[in-house]
Structure 1
């Protein structure tokens, strides 16, 4: 039984890892290769469109994704989504071979749609595979694999875009998609029976309003959703500030900047995994204040001590590591408290709010860097981290209770 469960965990984690890898491999390749086609003067436009193409489908189609996770077997949705990924990679390959920026960006948009539609289903399978006692471990390990996928895809694009031919890159894109589909076929889960029908609205605005009202039935759920969305807001801004700050303010090369960004991805992944391990079989919301405070302190240290070089890289790693410990208990709490097929809607609701916050982060970063020195982004993020940690501590009773128990236990 233990060996079987381990195999099922690995199938889900590996399938998710390959999907995230291909998302980021395709997006980063598009940024490198398409910029060479359209010229440096259009660099910002290509990067913006490529990033937006992966985000916008979550805002528009999360309600539909929640409905699919309720009325169909979640494993079946994952398998079909991974099959669709192979077809999308054919479109991407055609775009690269034809030197068509429009076709390549269209394939990224399709990947964003594919990811949005099966996101609630893949995360809903965590509880179906591991049971209630496996939620914290499953959430932590799932996020660790996801961030390793982001790192792998980004680094693969950076190294391979200049060293191999476009046909070889196309074969890799399709090969990863094929491997992901084969991996999805090995997923085994103990799912509840799908609902016969679902009448939730597909209008994103009305969906958010309806889900907010329904979430009031779960004490603290709306605040947990805001906490997760704020984590991604902060993460998005850190990614953007590192690209600018490392090169412009610290004088780092592109490869050195890449190393720092890789450390951030590794740090979040390690923090997520450790949070899952420390939680054991519980949903350990007591880790949230620790993760939030330590993340804020490290971001504040970057600003106050004007960190450079190795010191800066270490602080970035630590901030990312502690933020992973902040995130995973919130993910696990939703899984543990929203029962049955209603979980699909709540995960879709969380996705929609998260990606809305990520779009807001882009605007906030642009506005701040126009008005202030880039360095001030770090103190803004530190204050925001402290604020959301205090809000969760005061507004979510379980955070306070688990924090006190965790302190006594450790």
Structure 2
């Protein structure tokens, strides 16, 4: 470990010194804070898979090893690779929190060079024991790199870049896996020189990764005073308990691990599915892997576009729906396919029209898996405490490993019990729907954000101006005009964080919307003249939200406007700030009056669905925050009115 680098003075936040906002996630590849890290992790993932797949092919087709039959080779290699994740993830999380991340990355890449040097000897000598040792050591290499990989990003990217950065990393990882597998299979199959070329390629990739890692900028340790506990069992338990301290984060870790369970089912069955169900050769199995990898990469990259450069966990339910729908359709698409006289090559396979539905299902279910996983990773990074973020990610790696082992055992048991592979796919589709529904009920924020995402993208064309004024951290009051029954939902869509709303108690009687706001833990308030006790309880509950460092949403008019004009602001917001001061962010919803969810002068709301057509353009203008001492109802009203006027002027 380079202790000089680990203790070197660095800025408190690399993200704070980041360049000006870039047009999209691909621009990160031109920036030093991201590009060297991206190519370092890309080379490591490619090398892992080049080595493992070449070794698997070698012991399956080229060597006769009595104690490692071909039917068990893939299972043994996979188990050896994943074992270090269970044994050493907790320790690697501690090391990442304690030391400079650049130093950790360089240490890991130096280790990779040594391991690949030993693997080169193993390939040259055709020594299976040596290569099995290297599989375990490469698993250790990946275990050490895992926490660094995901703890690095939130230190160098801001909230608006985090989804795009994670999307790039996920895309890069799956492309690297694909290229590594293809390169390993092609090289080891070359007559006479295959194993020598694999040895050279593994060492060359390790050296290239270390060279790129040299350009990674130094980052400060997040918990330099941490005392390392070396007992892996005790520390694994401690890490899991640490993760459970934040309910949303822990349940997101379970959601990520479920995605790995889901993906492992398909990846493990591609060879058998291609041979027994699709009647294709080994090249068709490779085609399925290519399609799956491209789908995951595409879904990962789409997250930034669909989230409008925020951490948008509303995409997670969308991803879960797509995963179940297309996994189930894969069952129906693969039933009753005619068996040819000889195994089909890729060309012959694609010449059958029915096979295109199989390919499309596989591409789409993996695309939606990308939409599902990337926002969860970003949420874990954003909501975890920086001082122990790497240990939280280490807990995620432990859970991932356990879920993948469970996946292999359960699928093996189902196949042994007589299930067909398409039936396994249908079973995982149903299980995914059940698990996703359970997670979304436990953490309703996912479901609420999904509803907000649908409303702001598919019902309205929603545009936010001044979004940077919505604080990413700390308590604040969001004060907005009240135009419709869905104002709160639109504010949810605009905010990168959950909002607790103070709302008129009568809105809870509205079907569907009332249930939605109860799910969002909105605070009901009644006029003091109507119920003084309920009024005081609402003020106290609202102040409690601010004490906890969260966002509080309030509509100071007290009721939805009946004529589209801004009504007088009531004094409740001042009473809340007297109990707990916090910045106040003025906001103005625009172009929403006269839409389906707003009232109209002649009639109530929600009576003429298409009175303004589909996809109406609405907006939200966000002003600069005000200190609590500056806030009075009339002055705040003038700020909101000015924001409404600025929209009208445009």
| TM bucket, shorter chain | over 0.9
The aligned residue for residue 51 of structure 1 is: 78
Moved over 6 A (4+): none
Greater mean deviation of Cα atoms: 364-373 or 141-150: 364-373
TM-score between the two structures when normalised by the length of structure 2: 0.61
Q: Does 1:273 align with 2:319?
A: no
RMSD value, Cα: 1.9
1:93-128 C-alpha deviation (Å, 9 max, x unpaired): 111111100101111111100110121012111111
Paired residues of 2:320 and 2:436 also in contact (CA < 8 A): yes
Aligned to 2:274: 246
Distance 2:183 2:246 in 1: 42
Deviation of residue 165 (structure 1)?
3.1
Specify which structure has the bigger relative contact order, considering alpha-carbon pairs within 8 angstroms and separated by 6 or more residues. Answer: 1
What is the rounded CA distance, in whole Å, between the counterparts of 1:56 and 1:143 in structure 2?
22
Match of 1:84 in 2: 111
State the SS of the aligned residue for 2:403: helix
Alignment partner of 1:359 out of 405, 426, 451: 405
Larger strand fraction of residues? 2
Match of 2:374 among 328, 336, 342: 328
1:187 aligns with 2:216: yes
Confirm or deny: 8 A CA contact 1:63 1:202 kept in the other structure: no
Q: Give CA-to-partner distance per residue, 1:17-36, whole Å, 9 cap, x none.
A: 11000000000000111232
CA distance in 2, matches of 1:53, 1:280: 41
Counterparts of 1:257 and 1:219, CA distance in 2: 40
CA distance in 2, matches of 1:321, 1:362: 22
| 1:190 to partner: Cα distance | 4.5
Contact 2:159 2:311 in 1 (8 A): no
Q: Which has the larger radius of gyration?
A: 2
Structure with the bigger percentage of helix = 1
Q: Which runs of 5+ in 1 are unaligned?
A: none
Pick closer, same or farther for the CA change 1:290–1:72 going to 2, 3 Å: same
1:365-402 CA deviation, whole Å, 9 max, x = no partner?
11111111222111111012112221222111321232
Are 2:171 and 1:171 aligned? no
Correspondent of 1:104 among 124, 131, 145: 131
Give unpaired runs (5+ residues) of structure 2.
1-18, 21-26, 336-353, 458-650
The answer to whether the Cα contact below 8 Å between 1:127 and 1:134 also exists between their aligned partners in 2 is no
Q: Is 2:433 aligned against 1:386?
A: yes
Q: Does the CA contact (< 8 Å) of 2:51 and 2:198 recur in 1?
A: no
> Deviation of residue 283 (structure 1)?
1.2
State which of 99, 116, 138 in structure 2 corresponds to 1:72: 99
CA distance in 2, matches of 1:260, 1:233: 18
* Alignment equivalent of 1:21, drawn from 37, 41, 46: 46
312-321 or 393-402: which moved more?
393-402
- Structure 2 Cα separation of the partners of residues 384 and 208 of structure 1: 28
Alignment of 1:10-409 (within 5 A): 10-35=35-60, 36-38=62-64, 42-163=69-190, 164-188=193-217, 190-198=219-227, 202-204=231-233, 206-306=234-334, 308-371=354-417, 372-409=419-456
